[in-house]
Amino acid sequence: MANTLNIAADLMAIGQGMELLGAGPDHLWAAIAGVVIALTLTTGSFAVIAKVFKWLCAALLAYVGVLFVAKVDWADVLAGLAGLQFQWNWGYLGLLVGVLGTTISPYLFFWQSAHRVEEMRAEDLGGHDPVALPDRSDVLARRKLHAARTDVFTGMGFSVLVMFAIMAASAATLGQHNAQISSAADAAKALEPIAGPAAKALFSIGFIGTGFLAIPVLAGSASVGLAGLLGTRWGFDRRPRNARVFYTLLGVGIIGGILLALAMDDPIGLLVFVAVVNGIAAAPFLIVTMLVSGDRKIMGAYTNGRTAATISWATAAVMAVAGAVGVWTTLTGQGS
């Protein structure tokens, strides 16, 4: 449900971005984008889709570039990072849960694992089946594990860097002017006095690119999780006729997102709400992941080490508290 709501918000963002560029009504472009993404995912290969994702990720570096042109008060930023501006009120805490929910989002648990399995399927070692690490030579197993660990660390580092750049840049521009933002048009209008006439085009392209990057991940991760739970075949490297449940779930998620996007007009508010929902849902996923990754019957020699286990259980505890706060602020409306 959270993923479908997120898909709807991202489709609305794409539509509003296209409308700002003068291409036509936002709802029409939201529907077109949904259909194009669905067709691409059902007809493209995993290798092609992975390459497209990598290039779309590179576009996110534009947010880092904004820090060099926006008038950022770095002393203020450092004070915030040090926790000196922490506020004990429900609105602040509710938004903090949303930030945590976008950092440790449940869909990442499925997407990261699925991407790794599909990458192993694409190798020539085992035909169409991925070869598990215990079935490889020690050298190849260590090399694969090292590559996976490097991928996760660099990917998460890049993610946190971009998230920091977005928050710092937004605070230095929109935040300085106390702008109330509920749509792409609001953001572009607020940025125009700061970034000039190019603000509308830049913000529109950012909205569109981020939406096209997020929707396949959201739809794919939900479909992987449910198809796997049902014990059926899944994966973008399989043809639709060989993974009917997976692609049916994929289509249902995107179609549901299109229908919601046609009925709603506040992508920013919806994104914040979904972020809080993800913050609530993250703790149970983390706990299950820790139980699995610490079980020698399942993981064999690849169980978590003491350092990883300590950090991960501490993270699960933090997310459990955040989830409780998120439930309270959502039910009482005190976080709005």
CA distances from 294 to 114, 151, 320 (A): 20, 21, 19
Tens of pLDDT, residues 15-29: 888 887 778 888 888
What local confidence, expressed as pLDDT, does residue 47 receive?
65
Is residue 289 in a domain? no
CA distance 29 to 18: 7
94 in a structural domain: no
Q: Are 253 and 223 in contact (CB under 8 A)?
A: yes
What's the mean pLDDT when you consider all of the chain? 82
The predicted structure's pLDDT at residue 4 = 86
Q: Looking at residues 188-213, what average pLDDT do you find?
A: 69
**pLDDT per residue as tens digits for the range 236-250:** 777 888 888 998 998
Domains contained in the chain, number: 1
Nearest to 103 by CA among 171, 149, 157, 142: 157
Of 113-117, 253-257, 319-323, minimum mean pLDDT range:
113-117
Angle, helix 46-59 to helix 199-229, in steps of 10 degrees: 140
Q: At what angle do helices 106-121 and 138-173 cross, to 10 degrees?
A: 140
* pLDDT for the residue numbered 242: 84
Convert the pLDDT of each residue in 245-280 to its tens digit: 998 998 888 898 899 888 887 777 888 888 888 899
pLDDT-derived band of residue 335, with 50, 70 and 90 as boundaries?
low
What pLDDT, on a 0 to 100 scale, did the predictor assign at position 127? Answer: 66
Nearest residue to 324 via CA among 38, 15, 96: 96
Q: Look at residue 21 and tell me if it is in a domain.
A: yes
Q: Which domain holds residue 73?
A: 2-84+103-265
Whether the CA torsion 185, 188, 192, 194 is positive or negative: it is positive
Q: Residue 150: inside a domain, yes or no?
A: yes
Pair of tokens at residue 75? 């002393």
Residue 162 has pLDDT above 90, yes or no: no
**Dihedral over Cα of 170, 87, 267, 321: its sign:** positive
Kindly tell me if the per-residue pLDDT of 207 is higher than 80. no
Work out the average pLDDT over 54-60. Answer: 72
Assess if residue 222 is contained within a domain: yes
Is residue 320 included in any domain, yes or no?
no
Specify if 13 maps to a domain: yes
Write phi, then psi, for 285 (nearest 5 degrees): -65, -40
277 lies in a domain? no
